[in-house]
Structure 1
Amino acid sequence: MAEVRAARDEDVEAICDICARAYHATYAGLVSSDYLNRMLDEFYRPERVGKAIAATPPDWLGYQVAEHDGRVLGFAAGGITTAGAGELFTLYLEPGERGRGLGTLLLDRITEQLREQGATEMWVAALAGNELAVPFYRARGFVKEGERPAYGTTGAEDYRSWLLRRPI
């Protein structure tokens, strides 16, 4: 049985590795390799992840990891974005670990953290066409409230993110 805990400094490499594999498995065919590599470089370089391990409530609540037998299998993070509203900023699993309930464990932990910070609703952005994330969130009570350009898109790219929300 996996446990969810706050990430530690020694988890940086696992978080970066999981994200690289998960990005490629999730977004291949949805976005260009240039965009994919740009996002990995911006958010999942070891130096950046290492600095973001620690929580700085309420806007960043730190990385949480799902671990089993000493091996990190996934991670998530969230924070408060406006009064009463929180956001799940990231949630990725080892591609071979999907469907085992780890995503739900991580989502539940972030939801709990957001409630503790006073949030009554939770948001998440999912790339339009992401057939792994969108059904996962919908099955957990999220509904589409709108869309926006995906983070980091340039004028030459037209990737869209769905904005999903649920009460918590």
Structure 2
Amino acid sequence: MQLAGVRTAAAGDATPISRLLADAIRSSYAGMLEEIPLRRLISTQCALPRIRAEIEIPGGAPGWLGWLVAEDAEGRLVGVAACGVPVPGEGELYALAVEEGARRRGIGTALLAAATDRTRAYEAREQRVQLPVAADPALPFYRERGFAALGPTRWGRAV
């Protein structure tokens, strides 16, 4: 699969973002989280009205820098990320997900790089991510990119 690129999400991306994020959560955490916490995580993170509203925030909001999407050569959305700078100097990665069949092809790395660049533009010197579980399947990805544990589910790095 060829990655066409990473861009800022547009209004028409809300439904594909919601679906991709929900599928990624299900595939990553099935068996790690019980059914009710898994459903709660999906309903909180993937709510279509919330994602639509976040895409539509004109010029962003304090701490919120928006959604990014990765597309394949056919224009199909294969990855998403959301980021912000909620505290001066501290970037936050709110979401990063890649379609299960497209993983390990550089899409997550491209999304993380775009999110990092976006937070650096707002003077972030550090980047943080909160993971749903301590034994998160994404830990190798974050460790390989310089993140270190700040707590059982909180990771960070200098940018």
TM-score normalised to structure 1 length? 0.87
Match of 2:135 in 1: 129
Q: Does 1:16 align with 2:25?
A: no
C-alpha distance in structure 2 between counterparts of 1:28 and 1:43, whole Å? 16
Q: How much has 1:10 moved relative to structure 2?
A: 0.9
1:74 to 49, 73, 79: 79
Give the secondary-structure state (helix, strand or coil) at the position aligned to 1:109: helix
Which of 88-97 and 122-131 deviates more? 122-131
Instruction: Give 1:81 deviation, angstroms.
Output: 2.1
User: Is 1:58–1:117's contact at 8 Å kept on the other side of the alignment?
Assistant: no
Match of 2:145 among 140, 146, 163: 140
Residue type of the partner of 1:130?
D
CA distance in 2 between partners of 1:100 and 1:73 (Å): 11
**Alignment partners' CA distance in 1, 2:75 and 2:41:** 28
Task: Give the superposed CA RMSD.
Answer: 1.2
Is residue 47 of structure 2 the alignment partner of residue 45 of structure 1?
A: yes
Which sections of structure 1, spanning at least 5 residues, go unmatched? 148-161
Tell me how far 1:57 sits from its aligned partner.
4.3
Superposed, 1:15-164 pairs within 5 Å as 15-54=17-56, 56-68=60-72, 69-126=74-131, 127-131=133-137, 133-147=138-152, 162-164=153-155
- Distance in structure 2 (CA, Å) of the matches to 1:57 and 1:113: 14
Give the paired residue count. 153
Alpha-carbon distance in structure 1 between the residues aligned to 2:126 and 2:41: 27
Moved over 3 A (4+): none
Segments of 5+ residues of structure 2 without an aligned counterpart are none
Q: Which amino acid aligns with 2:141?
A: F
Deviation at 1:29, TM superposition (A): 1.0
Could you state the TM-score of these two structures normalised by the residue count of structure 2? 0.91
Query: Identity percentage over the alignment?
Result: 37
State the secondary structure of the residue aligned to 2:135: coil
Match in the other structure for 1:165: 156
Q: Is the 8 A contact 1:7 1:64 kept in 2?
A: yes
